[in-house]
Amino acid sequence: MPAVIEVSDLSKQYRVYRKHEGLVASIRNLFHREFTKVDAVKQVSFQIEEGEIVGFLGPNGAGKTTTLKLLSGLIYPTSGHATVLGHIPWKRENAYRRNFSLVMGQKNQLWWDIPAQESFRLHQAIYKIPDQEFERRLDELVSLLEVGKLIRQPVRELSLGERMRMELIASLLHNPRVLFLDEPTIGLDVVSQKRVQEFLKHYQQQEQITVVLTSHYMRDVESLCKRVIVINDGEIRHDGSLSEIVDRFSTHKVISLIFHNGDIPSDLQKYGKLLEADPPAVKLSVERDKVSNVLGSLLSRYQVDDLTVHERPLEDVFADLFDTHK
């Protein structure tokens, strides 16, 4: 059976007008338009199987939204192929439209001035969802996302987090098999972010839908995605499990120590880079494969009251990855 999402050598080049300043230049621009080209996505290939939830990560301008727009059929590629559920997205067939959804955290699909409930009705009509099924799904999603009465309030009166939950309901009413989420938690506070994460996790497990998610919040990625595709400058840099990324790109671990009586040794630099020294606590960054040796030496030489070893925060790992692989 083919994968749910198959992408091969997909590229998208945008043409951007180069505008010159000043009146003469403006007139010249009318007759002689100059373009520059932006390679937003360059020969990207990957496959995603049914029921996977994949994090699509990369810095600003990496090509994530462009890829999701291609897979949703909003834009045409410059070259390459893709199928989702056996459909070529940019053919925009109804059979495809009924089976996927795209949610963009930065954009609303709900009408601003009317209650979400009425927008949901509109979705029912567009997707031809039978009354009974519509009611059943709406009830279920409303209770899972705990939005109760809010669906009768004009959308503009809702908080960002509440609105996002409504957007998710709208996108799931027609029971899509594939869900593209472009920064679904952007701008949300930690509590709302967590609520969205928990909902997505639960819903995905229950329905076994295929999800591709972009986010700049590592917590989203950690809590939801086993597999991560890293894109930078339009090209795929890594495709694998999150732990592989940490193993491969995180060269150091952090050792936190509490020295007895606050006696911090003066020669700690020889074990690693001193990140913080706040007696009696110290944080050392140590190369991964030297951690056990360093621990052995420290414990045999000094009186240590407490000790923990942790991975560097994912944010730091990705910051390094994006920086050094440009």
* Binding interface with ligand ATP (CB under 6 A): 14, 16, 38, 40, 58, 60-66
Q: How far is the CB of 61 from ligand ATP (least distance, A)?
A: 4
Strand 178-182 versus strand 34-48 pairing type: unpaired
Give the length of the chain: 326
**Cβ proximity to Mg ion, 105 vs 115, nearer residue:** 105
158 versus 317: smaller Cβ distance to ligand ATP: 317
Q: Can the peptide bond before residue 115 be classed as cis, meaning omega within 30 degrees of 0?
A: no
Q: Which does 174 bind (CB under 5 to 8 A by kind): ligand ATP, Mg ion, none?
A: none
Q: Which residues ranging from 24 to 53 are in contact with Mg ion (CB under 5 A)? A: none
Instruction: By CB under 5 A, tell whether 65 contacts Mg ion.
Output: yes
Asked if residues 318 and 242 have their Cβ atoms less than 8 Å apart, the reply is no
Q: Measure the CA–CA gap between 213 and 100, rounded to whole angstroms.
A: 13
DSSP-assigned states of every residue in 310-323 = EEPPHHHHHHHHHH
Q: Which is nearer to ligand ATP, 61 or 86 (CB)?
A: 61
Partner whose footprint covers residue 40, from Mg ion, ligand ATP, none (CB < 5 to 8 Å by kind): ligand ATP
Bridge pairing between strands 227-232 and 235-241: antiparallel
Q: Which is nearer to ligand ATP, 120 or 322 (CB)?
A: 322
Minimum distance from CB of 153 to Mg ion (Å)?
A: 29
Segment near Mg ion (CB under 5 A), from 65-73, 122-130, 135-143, 293-301?
A: 65-73
Residue closest to Mg ion (Cβ): 65
How far is residue 182's CA from residue 267's CA, in Å, rounded to a whole number? 48
Closest distance between Mg ion and the C-beta of residue 282, in Å? 40
CA 96 to chain centre: 23
In the numeric block, the tokens 């300043």 are attached to 21
Residue burial 169-191, b: 16+ Cβ < 10 Å; e: rest: bbbbbbebbbbbbbbbbbebeee
Does residue 212 sit in helix, strand or coil? Answer: strand
Of ligand ATP, Mg ion, none, which one does residue 11 interact with (CB within 5 to 8 Å by kind)? Answer: none
User: Smaller CB distance to ligand ATP: residue 62 or 181?
Assistant: 62
Taking CB under 5 A as the binding criterion, the range among 64-72, 97-105, 241-249, 307-315 that sits at the site for Mg ion is 64-72
In contact, 4 and 48? CB cutoff 8 Å: yes
Residue 65 or 204 having the CB closest to Mg ion: 65
Residues that bind Mg ion (CB under 5 A): 65
